[in-house]
Structure 1
């Protein structure tokens, strides 16, 4: 089918197309007249998805703008926000709603009404949340749009501070237990220090110095004992050998030993000169014997003194060893006491740190639970709509006309298919396969033919 043939068909069936189009327009007009007019009022909110913590001033991470706005839109649509709107605006006393409900509206009816007319639209690539309400009453539409915005802001604030309030109460309970534990640890430390007489570390230092002094004194006494034993051994050897007495460091022994050596030398000289029976030799011999006896007595006295000194040193050494052992034990006991005191002090410090951390966090959560600011700001309040948003008269009529024309055209083509006619010379040639011999002039619309 050529375009010319199609045009002839449409011109031939114009009454059908016009009638259907007119009918569609009449139906659309009836729809416009019957359908109640509805008005839409919109409130715009600015939602900061990257808000700062009002306590610490740090940026709150973990938010994406699209997901955050989608979450906020679901909060606006929630039953909790709708219930707040009903209560705050006293919708059960609204005359228009009483009339629409046929009496005092029930709460489920009001809940369905406000949620049905609510439209929440997060603006794409922005932080703006549009809250719209559709109603037959323009004033009620604006009132409910603003009411939803205010209820949403309050709900957002409650959702923010409620967890902080619960955490704050939990921390208050924990602080009581931590405070009691801290006082218990402090009292235990104080009692332990009082029981063992611990004031500071000076006592341990004094006992350590005393132990060092006793150790030094013991070493000195041991050295003295060893020296006395050595001298006593030398005296015993000197008693057997008079010549070795000169090696002793005692002045009296050295003097007598010197005199004895001189007397023995004089005795030997006289023996060679006068003989053993000479009176001078006998006198010199008596002098030597006297010096030997005197030297032996002196060595015996010195040896006795040294043995007494050794015995005294041994007694003093045993006493010092006992005192040193006792001092070591006392110092070890003090160290054990100090170690136990340090453990108690560490427990106190640990309890203090836990209490301080909990107190800091409790103070922070208490402040968070008292915050009255949100990250939501009113950008544009709802205006009283001056024109209805539905039904849209012009768009409805245009769509009805287009639908009527399309339906009429389709019907005309269907009629033409079932009642085919020859409208042009080409139809005759194509339909019958005969050539056209002549054409008569057109004397009117729809009268032309081969």
Structure 2
């Protein structure tokens, strides 16, 4: 009977496998807001915790004060004298200003400030002198370790020499000062701000001003040292150049003396002067010779028979003696003329006069002969003079050629001496300039604003820090909220199930709190509160099942399974079957979970009542052998442990039993084992019209659900939908999805819970 009924009912049965539906990737702002609302206490507690911790830390922090001084880079230099400086002024480009900032932050300059201000002995900067420990230091796990344990692990600290220890402490103080020092340059400005942070406002101002003063002093010292080094170098070079000048001048003078290159103050070499003088005298001598020879030539042309022929010569005419004799002659001639008028030629007086004339003529002729002979002598003398001068000129010329050769080398020596002399004068002038510069050095910057003692601390800015902490804590809380949402790997809504699995949600079963049950079991509460949202949720499942079967009619045999144990599958099966039986349907509940049967214990059934194993292993049975629930009219066939349930469910007897159940009941509900635990549900799925997959709200991992559904799909199970159980309606409302669970909470007036 069972076999024939089974084959009639399952002929050409096919399963309908819905496929997942893809939705557009859109950002649901309302869903994000609901996540924040749902996790608001996570966010609030995170903000409160971080704020309290921040306040505690802020009150433990030592206030720090920042003092600032300002420098201006000099773009114009005072030029007292037109003298080029040894060290040029500072540039005004970005690289030059950046270099000066590096100088201000250099350990060398900071080290000078440490020494000048005696900061090594300041406990604020020298940790070796600071024995006080703040509350925050106890938060460092290293400080929790006892010193004895540290020594046993790391050994005793080496004992350092006093000078080494002092140098190490100084280096640590320099590091501390550098860490608190801030040097900035505003854009498009030639100013540099020196800011220093300290726990004491006066100390902050003192150190900021001290570094500014040291920077200017350092610039002056650098220029002074550069000038001093230049002076020392110039002094050494001047000494060497003096020796070079003296040596070159001595060499030139010695060469001049050895080669008799005697010079006068204005006319050059004496040999040149002598040659010029001899040449000039020779020219004059030759001129005189030509003139005397010309006069002598004139005399030679005159007949020498009569001396009186020479009377017309200019030399004769110019002779004073001859001129006097001519005058005497004229006087005697006048006397003779007078006497001739009175006396005759024989008169003694006439004879005396004639004798006197004769004497005068004789004297004149004698003088004329002397003049003529003198001219001839002049020619001879002039010729001899010319000859002597020519010989002298030839000798001087030969000597001068040799001297000129020597003078070439002399000029080379003189040029070397002159070059050394000019170089010496240049270095002497530069030495005097650099010497004078030491007294007029000026820095390339000036202090335009000295640091004042700050009145208010710059750190910590409690309001700002607290605001940032609140902001960051809010972000952290929001991040934690979304992280928890992401880590919450369970299903919350039917929409999620539809998107991920492609299955429709056929119902949401609310969770019953203990205050509502008041000691009543869930399945009894269902009957006592038929108008409750819990009962209505099961009715919704049945309503959704009306047209979910493959034959487009109400499924007669329904199987409930889940992924893992504990998801409320058995409770749902029992409640669903009782409620449908209470509504007037003839319903049979079959507990097919033979691994962990619970129905008999929960309903307190008689041990002698028939169970599924005894029915399948026994003979034919009648309806009177089944347990009947008096409260609902439900027929129950409980389960019992069996070593091989798959063999039992795969046999012909179970198939015949299912056919018999279809003929005798309006609805058959099978409570089956979890899919991932055992494969019984896969075998049983081929005997039913619809499979309801039970998923515990927010608990069952999505991967487990996907794996279980995939197994059923691969075997052709008639999946009708998913039932979400144990839903916290109040929390479910916070998700804001307009499904059944949402209205169970918002429309509570419709239910009597």
TM over 0.5: yes
Quote how far apart the aligned CAs of 1:335 are: 5.8
**Counterpart of 2:280 in 1: which secondary structure?**
helix
Change (3 A) 1:401 1:312: closer
**In the alignment, which residue of structure 2 is the partner of 1:69?**
97
**In the alignment, which residue of structure 2 is the partner of 1:142?**
205
Q: Distance in 2 between matches of 1:427 and 1:315?
A: 149
Quote how far apart the aligned CAs of 1:28 are: 2.1
Structure holding more helix per residue:
1
Q: Do the aligned residues in 2 keep the contact of 1:215 with 1:324 (CA within 8 Å)?
A: no
Change (3 A) 1:309 1:363: closer
Quote how far apart the aligned CAs of 1:117 are: 1.8
CA-based RMSD of the aligned residues comes to 4.7
Q: Distance in 1 between matches of 2:382 and 2:219?
A: 92
Q: Do the aligned residues in 1 keep the contact of 2:261 with 2:407 (CA within 8 Å)?
A: no
Change (3 A) 1:311 1:380: closer
**In the alignment, which residue of structure 1 is the partner of 2:238?**
175
Q: Which sections of structure 1, spanning at least 5 residues, go unmatched?
A: 232-247, 256-307, 435-439
Q: Do the aligned residues in 2 keep the contact of 1:49 with 1:68 (CA within 8 Å)?
A: no
Q: Do the aligned residues in 2 keep the contact of 1:38 with 1:390 (CA within 8 Å)?
A: yes
Deviations 1:244-295 (A, max 9, x none): xxxx82403799xxxxxxxxxxxxxxxxxxxxxxxxxxxxxxxxxxxxxxxx
Deviations 1:334-373 (A, max 9, x none): 7668777766654554333222211111111112333342
Quote how far apart the aligned CAs of 1:393 are: 1.4
- Identify the range of structure 1 (348-357 vs 39-48) with the bigger mean alpha-carbon deviation: 348-357
Q: Do the aligned residues in 2 keep the contact of 1:211 with 1:327 (CA within 8 Å)?
A: no
Aligned length: 381
Change (3 A) 1:87 1:10: closer
**Counterpart of 1:363 in 2: which secondary structure?**
helix
**1:251 and 2:303 are equivalent in the alignment:** yes
Quote how far apart the aligned CAs of 1:332 are: 4.9
Candidates 340, 358, 379, aligned match of 2:448: 379
Candidates 393, 397, 415, aligned match of 2:462: 393
**In the alignment, which residue of structure 2 is the partner of 1:37?**
63
Q: Which sections of structure 2, spanning at least 5 residues, go unmatched?
A: 1-26, 132-164, 308-376, 507-532, 534-729, 735-744, 749-753
Candidates 104, 113, 116, aligned match of 1:88: 116
**1:200 and 2:260 are equivalent in the alignment:** no
**In the alignment, which residue of structure 2 is the partner of 1:448?**
746
Q: Distance in 2 between matches of 1:342 and 1:153?
A: 54
- Identify the range of structure 1 (26-35 vs 137-146) with the bigger mean alpha-carbon deviation: 26-35
Deviations 1:127-171 (A, max 9, x none): 111111122222222221111111111111111221111011111
**In the alignment, which residue of structure 2 is the partner of 1:350?**
419
Q: Do the aligned residues in 2 keep the contact of 1:45 with 1:129 (CA within 8 Å)?
A: yes
Give me the TM-score of the superposition, normalised by structure 2. Answer: 0.43
Q: Distance in 1 between matches of 2:70 and 2:448?
A: 5
**1:114 and 2:412 are equivalent in the alignment:** no
- Structure 2 matches for 1:25-424, cutoff 5 A? 25-52=51-78, 55-56=81-82, 63-94=91-122, 96-97=124-125, 101-102=129-130, 106-184=169-247, 192=256, 198-202=263-267, 203=270, 204-205=272-273, 207-218=275-286, 249-252=301-304, 318-329=387-398, 332=401, 346-417=415-486, 418=488, 419-422=490-493
- Identify the range of structure 1 (74-83 vs 214-223) with the bigger mean alpha-carbon deviation: 214-223
Change (3 A) 1:420 1:364: farther
Q: Distance in 2 between matches of 1:161 and 1:362?
A: 14
